[in-house]
Amino acid sequence: MSSCHNPEVEGEQPVSLESRVLEAGAAMTQDFSPVKSICAHLNAFHAYADDPKRMVEANHYCAHVTDDVRQCILYDGPGPNARLIGIEYMITPKLYEGLDAEERKLWHSHVFEVKSGMLIMPQPSPLVPQTLWEKAENKEMEQVVTLYGKVYHLWQVDRGDKLPLGPPKLMTSFTDWDQFDTKTMDERDKRFGSDWRRKKEIREYIEVPKLHEDVDQTWKKAGAGV
């Protein structure tokens, strides 16, 4: 039997017995098909489109809507107390190219995330051989490197908000080494038992796709001093 209730968080009111009973009953009888379709856990970092010096780690739990569209629920961690902080959609180039010019400016690429080793699929168990997992991870990266993403964060956990306050914030991915401090990736890798430097090396074979000129507008504006 499962329940929606998470372990109590310090400083928050505990869930009542009545709520626990209702959650337990719902978990036993309801169908959670949309959530069960999630097939990949990805971890990377996002920057605020309007303030790219701010950086947030995001755990993506993704499912395919079609072969051309993926949708991801974003959490601030992989544990039972994780907060849902945003959503991301990923689409293939043929869909991106069909968008109007203003819409295309809201989307970002995944090339740097993949090639740098920033984007990872956390290894589910140390019992899974590393070489076997890396092979599966690289297959996923071969697809993601071609996709365009549109991401909004609803909860600004990096500034300590206790609730999802204010309007959604458009986010973006990183596109170059000078946009962030690699110590952030080192700290992440310690928690997940990962190594972005190794991933960068073993992904060298992944071909870099030609990107549309309208993508990654945050960094183009920053470079232009806008």
89-102 pLDDT per residue, tens: 999 999 999 999 99
Q: Which two tokens stand for residue 122?
A: 């956390």
Which amino acid, 107?
A: W
Residue 196 counted as domain residue? yes
Residue 16 counted as domain residue? no
Residue 184 counted as domain residue? yes
Residue 4 counted as domain residue? no
* pTM score: 0.85
Residue 192 counted as domain residue? yes
Closest by CA position to 143, among listed 64, 48, 219: 64
Listed range (48-57, 126-135, 168-177) with the worst mean pLDDT: 126-135
Which amino acid, 117?
A: G
Report how far residue 193's alpha carbon sits from residue 216's, in angstroms, rounded to the nearest whole number: 30
Residue 140 counted as domain residue? yes
The whole domain housing 79 covers 35-223
Into how many domains does the chain fold?
1
The total of other beta-carbon atoms located within 10 Å of residue 63's CB is 16
Residue 22 counted as domain residue? no
Q: Which helix (H) or strand (E) holds 57?
A: strand 51-64
pLDDT above 70 covers a percentage of the chain that reads: 86
Residue 106 counted as domain residue? yes
Q: What is the pLDDT of residue 9?
A: 44
37-91 pLDDT per residue, tens: 887 999 999 999 999 999 999 999 999 999 999 999 999 999 988 999 999 999 9
Q: Which two tokens stand for residue 74?
A: 């974003």
CB 137 within 8 A of CB 194: no
Q: What does DSSP assign to residue 13?
A: P
76-79: which pairs have CB atoms within 8 A and are 24 or more residues apart?
A: 76/155, 76/157, 78/41, 78/43, 78/122
